[in-house]
Structure 1
Amino acid sequence: MKTSSQQANVGVVGLGVMGKNLALNIADNGYHVAVFDLDEQKVADAAAQELAERPSSVSSRMLACNNLSEMLNNLTKPRVIVMSVPAGAPVDGVCRSLINAGIEADDIVIDTGNSLWTDTVAREKQYENNFIFFSSAVSGGEVGARFGPSLMPSGDKAAWQYVAPIWNAIAAKVDTKSGQPIERFEPGNPVLEGEPCTAYIGPAGAGHYVKMVHNGIEYADMQLICEAYQLLTEALGLNAKEVADIFESWNQGFLNSYLMGISAEVLRQDDPLTGKPLVEKILDKAGQKGTGLWTAVSSLQIGCPAPTIAEAVYARAISTQKSLRMSLKSHLAGPDVKSVSAQEKADFIDALEDALYCAKVCCYAQGFQLMAMNAKEQGWQLNFAEIAKIWRAGCIIRATFLQSITAAYENDAELANLLMADTFSSELSTKQMNWRKTVSASIMSGIPAPCISSAIAYYDSYRCETLPANLLQGQRDFFGSHTFERTDKPAGEKYHLDWSAKTRVLLKV
């Protein structure tokens, strides 16, 4: 499919930050790209950047198009068109415009936005007589898009076989032995070696669902680090640069991750206006684009416990209520906080490192269990070892930790929950007391740690052979005749007690 004539191999529609960088990445890897955007300036900017970054020995790799008809006329058949537009109505708008411009039934249109997975399922059917609607979630932000993202494609298998060489070329790469990212941020000099961070996920919607869960895990992972930051600053009185030092130290060990690394960098950055730590000047109101919310909603719909992911969404929601928090501060009393010794500080930092790791394991366990339960419901055959592999580089949650998850699923593809893997169950058992000390300290000091706390409740809930749901079922049967099962009778047999009768009678339903 690589360039052999004046015609382009790939079309890119939508030249915002992600689209432009994907187009440049595709060009760097030897493909001739036709680009279009409704904003003419974005088209001009993309062409200018390609010219500026193009090696002197290479001829033009980008064709700037004035409209979609021009793009279609300049693409080799079957045409491959990458859409990088906002989720929702803009996706359908481009699809309709492509139909009007003359797209053909065997052409492939790839949605790379953060679309809701159910919309992707519907679109594959909606456009099946016009073209092949394919999807590929993209993670890694603008740098990932430019130099190697994690890609989660799904849809028509034949379409995947056709676009796979492009996706394998532009994806992030990892060292096959260590699982460590191979990174090079040089225009015109792409990473060619290593294992690409992309793999066919499954039928339509599967890739976007996996990306949605990725983002839910991302929400929780970020919130966990933020909770550690607040505990270190408020409980121990450390400044931003001292916390950065701790995060950098942790990033050398089992907490190594992209998010830990950039958190240290953010904390170390001074404000250009005041010279003080920039983080202290950033307003504590967090935004969200919906994928974390979708993950939490999906967990509730399926009945899969994902409390840490949900708490991360709630944490962002409560952060936006700044004025209410400021008002309630004068109404709600907190505990008296005692000073701590240097040894107590050191012990707490060690405990917090273990707590962060344990909570992180539970967060990923929730995400992978959610994917497994939805896959069963949809009839998808997801390969969780492959999913963990393609998250090792390029994406926001990339971490050394994912190598252990890959190994866990390679050892047992039917693993019901990550907590059952010997590696994780052993580590959590060993580190749990430090985890408990951290949660206790956060409560006693009045510092919220909703994700760290919810994660240990998740862990303890799965340790319990008997939960108080027996009383709950009794309550439900009392007020609503909802029935219950018995521990001493066969599974599935339902009983109801006539609670209103003087002589209460047990009835088999």
Structure 2
Amino acid sequence: MADDKAQIGVYGLGTMGSALALNMAEKGFRVAVTNREVEWIAEFMKEAGDLANALVAHDTLEAFVAGLKTPRVILFMIPSGKPMDMMIEAVAPLLEDGDTIIDGGNANFHDTRRRSAALAEKGLHFVGMGVSGGEKGARHGPSMMVGGSDHSWAQLRNVLRAIAARYEDEPCVDHLGPDGAGHFVKTVHNGIEYADMQVIAEIYALLHYGAVWPPAEIGKLFEAWNEGPLKSYLVEITGQLLQYHDPKTGHPVVDVIKDAAGQKGTGRWTVVEAVRMGQAANMIEAAVGARSWSSEKDTRQSAQTILGGARGALEVDAGTLSEAFMAARILCYAQGFRVLAATSEEYDWTLDFARIAEVWRAGCIIRSALLDDISEAFRGELPHGQLILTPRFASRLTECLPALRKVVGDAVAGGHAIPALSAALQWYDTMRQGFGTANIIQAQRDFFGYHGFERLGEEGVHHGPWWD
């Protein structure tokens, strides 16, 4: 009977898909589920316990689609890229006008725009939905960034608001714009995440390798910071993980983990789009670069022997370090929102930056106490559209920058690598120079290539006297 059909379908019972399906079932929705590896389905239903009563398992794609109420809503939690294109090719012939396909993975927003346009020609709706919060967030309340048509949002709204993380009883999910808007906001979210993680790692390195603090002591400092203005999920978990010991060796766990970090592409995509839009995201670029350099473990160890490592110990004041951290975090968010603004203008998305900050306040990896202030700033006057020029953040940066200068200066003098912290300082200093260095570059370009330049106070293209 039609009443027995599910309100939404979840295809892909990996870590995130399983968690989201259980979250939906727990909130009272009837959910159809299936998976490419059908042997996973029975085990998932068994682990669902009492929630299995709200789940309807299917062994085939055809049965899965037929088991959904119309217009259908299907959430795919599968790898992005070619697998998603193959799935669309398989499922589209089974769907009808008004049905909605959701890609809940970390997809490139250009792919999302392409898929949205192609499916619209068939009367189908395509949603690119960014999901943040990891497995725990997906199961108990993620932050979700939705892009797609108004029709799709009307179909999804009740389900997503019910399963989302909540901040002061406000669901951390919203419809942010058409086609690729949701996936791009998630991409920039991840870019900010890269930079914030790198800043935290650099602060840890200065304390551990520079000031010779044991990891557990650093962890306690992060715990203390998490009780104040620096409160955030990443600070919270860093404080915890630094105090764990390896059961095999008795050493701090971080000391037995290989210092080589992977990446899945979203950080790079943020940097690529920033450059394409003529924006600077040098903190995110520094974080992406640092991960790439980290993979060259053997080279770095040889270089330390040949070139020498950091030259000396550091005297580190925890208060100064916390202020430097705050400055870097403000600048990191500011760069991310600049990229969002440029892309929103390019694609006519009219992104609501205050709402984006609010969606990030709970459930997601970059949730932090700072996001309330950012949301408030975007709801007020924003000089030149720049977060760093609002009275609140301009004042806060003025207070914090001496600490960032000291930390960066001491680290550089001692030969300690701080790519993200130093990038933050260089961007800030560049942006506050009313007269910069590009006049020399423009003169050079005209001298060797007759490219021309603008003159102060005059319109048109001009050339230097070297061409007379």
Same fold (TM over 0.5): yes
- 291 and 354 in structure 1: CA distance in 2 versus 1, 3 angstrom threshold: same
Aligned-residue RMSD, C-alpha? 1.6
Matches of 1:44 and 1:173 in 2, distance apart?
32
Deviation readout 1:185-235 (Å, 9 max, x if unpaired): xxxxxxxxx100011100100111110000000000000000000000111
Q: Please tell me the residue identity of whatever aligns with 2:110.
A: T
For residue 448 of structure 1, give the secondary structure of its aligned residue in structure 2: coil
Between stretches 211-220 and 126-135, larger displacement belongs to: 126-135
Q: 1:299 to 1:223 in 2, by over 3 A?
A: same
Give matches, 1:189-228, under 5 Å.
Answer: 194-228=169-203
Give the C-alpha shift of residue 497 in structure 1.
Answer: 2.1
Amino acid at match of 1:89: K
Deviations 1:39-77 (A, max 9, x none): 122212221122x253xxxx8100110111111221111
- Of residues 99, 109, 129, the one that matches 1:107 is 99
Question: What's the offset of the Cα at 1:94?
Answer: 1.4
Map 1:219-368 onto structure 2 (within 5 A): 219-333=194-308, 336-338=311-313, 344-345=315-316, 348-368=317-337
* Partner of residue 463 from structure 2, selected from 487, 493, 496: 496
The 3 A distance-change label for structure 1 pair 413 and 94 is farther
List aligned pairs for 1:37-436, cutoff 5 A: 37-50=35-48, 52-54=49-51, 60-100=53-93, 102-128=94-120, 129=122, 131-175=124-168, 194-333=169-308, 336-338=311-313, 344-345=315-316, 348-412=317-381, 416-436=385-405
2:8 partner amino acid: V
Give TM-score scaled by structure 2 length. Answer: 0.97
> Displacement of 1:285 after TM fit?
0.4
1:467 CA drift (Å): 0.5
Q: Distance in 2 between matches of 1:326 and 1:10?
A: 52
What secondary structure is seen at the aligned counterpart in 1 of 2:189?
helix
CA distance in 1, matches of 2:430, 2:43: 54
Structure 2 counterpart of 1:385, which letter? Answer: A
Cα deviation, residue 4, structure 1 = 9.2
Larger radius of gyration: 1
Q: Secondary structure at the match of 2:173?
A: coil
Native 8 Å contact 2:103 2:127 kept in 1:
yes
The C-alpha deviation readout for 1:2-60, integer Å capped at 9, x for no partner, is x993211111111111111111111111001110101122212221122x253xxxx81
Change in 2 beyond 3 A, CA 1:15/1:242: same
Secondary structure (helix, strand or coil) at the match of 2:425 reads helix
Of 432, 444, 467, 1:475 maps to 444
Separation (CA, whole Å) in 2 of partners of 1:152 and 1:328 = 43
- The TM-score with structure 1 as length reference comes to 0.89
- 1:99 shift after superposition: 2.5
Q: In percent, how many aligned pairs have the same letter?
A: 40
Which moved further from structure 2: 450-459 or 407-416? 407-416
Partner Cα distance (2:39, 2:381) in 1: 52
Contact 1:385 1:413 in 2 (8 A): no
Offset at 1:412? 2.9
Runs of 4+ in structure 1 over 2 Å off: 333-336, 412-415
Partner of 1:190: none
Q: Report the Cα distance in structure 2 between the residues aligned to 1:276 and 1:443, rounded to whole angstroms.
A: 29
How many angstroms apart in 1 are the aligned matches of 2:375 and 2:125? 32
Q: CA 1:335–1:232 in structure 2 vs 1: closer, same or farther (change >3 Å)?
A: closer
Distance in 2 between residues matched to 1:49 and 1:412, nearest whole Å: 51
Matched residue type, 1:14: G
> How many residues are matched?
467
* CA displacement 1:375-423 (0-9 Å, x = unmatched): 1111111000100000001110011111110110112367611101111
AA aligned to 2:78 is V
Which residues of structure 2 form unaligned runs of 5+? none
Q: Which residue of 2 aligns with 1:182?
A: none
Q: Answer yes or no: is the 8 Å Cα contact 2:2–2:69 preserved in 1.
A: no
Query: What is the SS of the residue equivalent to 1:115?
Result: coil
The residue that corresponds to 2:33 in the other structure is 35
Tell me the CA shift for residue 274 of structure 1.
1.0
**Aligned with 1:200: secondary structure?**
strand
Cα drift, residue 131 of structure 1: 2.1
Contact 1:415 1:421 in 2 (8 A): no
SS state of the match for residue 411, structure 1? coil
Give the 3-state SS of the residue equivalent to 2:453 in structure 1.
coil
Residue 184 of structure 1 aligns with which residue?
A: none
1:219 aligned partner, one-letter code: Y
Task: Give, in whole Å, the separation in 2 of the partners of 1:395 and 1:450.
Answer: 25
Structure with more helix by fraction: 2
Residue in 1 that maps onto 2:22: 24
Label 1:15 to 1:109 Cα distance change in 2 as closer, same or farther (>3 A): same
Deviations 1:241-285 (A, max 9, x none): 010011111111111000001111111111121111110000000
Letter in 1 for 2:12: G
Q: Is the 8 A contact 1:10 1:34 kept in 2?
A: yes
SS at match of 2:90: helix
Q: 2: CA distance between counterparts of 1:416 and 1:41?
A: 52
- Name the aligned partner's letter for residue 130 of structure 2: A
In 2, Cα distance between the equivalents of 1:415 and 1:137? 28
